[in-house]
Amino acid sequence: MIYREAGDFKTTYAADNQTFPIKGDRFAYYLVLAFALGVMPFIINDYWANAIVIPFLIYTIAALGLNILIGYCGQLSLGTGAFMATGAYASFKFMTGFPELNIVIVVILSGFVTAGVGVAFGLPSLRIKGFYLAVATLAAQFFLIWLFTRAGWFYNYSPTGMITAPTRTVFGYAVTGPRASAVSMYLFCLFFLIAVAWLARNLTRGTLGRKWMAIRDMDIAAEIIGVNPLMAKLSAFAVSSFFIGIAGALLFAVYLGAVEAGEAFGIDKSFLVLFMVIIGGLGSILGSFLGAFFLIVGPVLLKLLLVNQLGWSSDLAAHFEIMIIGALIVVFLILEPHGLTALWRTIKDKLRLWPFPH
């Protein structure tokens, strides 16, 4: 009875088709949004921004992009790290080649460049699928990282092979570079996360999203009823890569500041985002948030527990963090294979009836 739909009447089609048709969901959404915009900027500090909040925002954007490709369109990809690197290096070339460009425009253009690269490597999806497509995207991972580390043009022939983000401002506040504050970086990343989540939610609820899901469920039947598999698959690769490119640009320019492709965007980055999508729940916008929260906040909380509370050494705690997080992933996928979203859906169903048994 705490979370109930009784009395929540709809009198228009627009009200019935809104993103959050249940009043309790709308209230929770507006509450979270008000806290993120009205409270967090006043209480956030450098440690929490760099350790939890900003990585969570950036990786959620990447998880949203990969979830569109895997969860909604059913196209398996292991090249997320390389596509994030594409966004990072594209933003670096835009920032150094066109210093007058606003950083918001730079991040968006980096997303479009990554979308083009994603479509190019998504062409094999027209003939292959499943693990064969995963191997094709894995080839993209190794090829693009090799390209960014070997071709000097991408890092402006720097002797170290690294790229460094220059300082850029929004409304007079630095959001990149050493002068950027935790609040400005947080609000900048939050703006992109809200925009990407809104766009992803509306795309997946519209005609394009239904085409993706038709291809995911049975591509032959989808083609018979009129869905163009070429446009559906390539559009999924384009939108997914666009979001992942934005995440890569933010990771480089706002969070890290200086990167080297092999170190910052290796294959481990691809698996990290993939685990976020699987743990959170395939085919779910909320699942991308929950999966990113689990894999970003979980290790930090474990470190605080093992090092600060139990007094373990940092090296020993780091090894145990990997073991514990890995064990939790295995156990969770056995107990709830559909992810945290399915668990949240079960909880909501229970709350609708509580305290009555049925």
Cis peptide before 355 (omega within 30 of 0): yes
Residue range 40-60, pLDDT digits in tens: 999 998 888 888 999 999 999
With respect to residue 226, please indicate whether it lies within any of the assigned structural domains.
yes
With respect to residue 309, please indicate whether it lies within any of the assigned structural domains.
no
Mean pLDDT confidence for 180-207: 93
Q: How high is the pLDDT of residue 358?
A: 59
With respect to residue 32, please indicate whether it lies within any of the assigned structural domains.
no
Quick one: 106 exposed, middle or buried, by C-beta within 10 A (0-12, 13-18, 19+)? buried
120 pLDDT higher than 70? yes
Distance, in Å, from the CA atom of 339 to the CA atom of 342, rounded to the nearest integer, reads: 6
With respect to residue 310, please indicate whether it lies within any of the assigned structural domains.
no
Q: How high is the pLDDT of residue 357?
A: 64
Q: Is the dihedral of CA 123, 127, 133, 139 positive or negative?
A: negative
1: confidence class by pLDDT, cuts 50, 70, 90: very low
For residues 81 and 265, the answer to whether their CB atoms sit within 8 Å is yes
With respect to residue 35, please indicate whether it lies within any of the assigned structural domains.
no
Distance, in Å, from the CA atom of 9 to the CA atom of 5, rounded to the nearest integer, reads: 8
Provide the domain count of the chain.
1
Percent of the chain with pLDDT over 70: 97
With respect to residue 116, please indicate whether it lies within any of the assigned structural domains.
yes
Domain that holds residue 82: 47-266
Mean pLDDT confidence for 272-299: 90
Q: How high is the pLDDT of residue 208?
A: 92
Distance, in Å, from the CA atom of 351 to the CA atom of 358, rounded to the nearest integer, reads: 11
With respect to residue 25, please indicate whether it lies within any of the assigned structural domains.
no
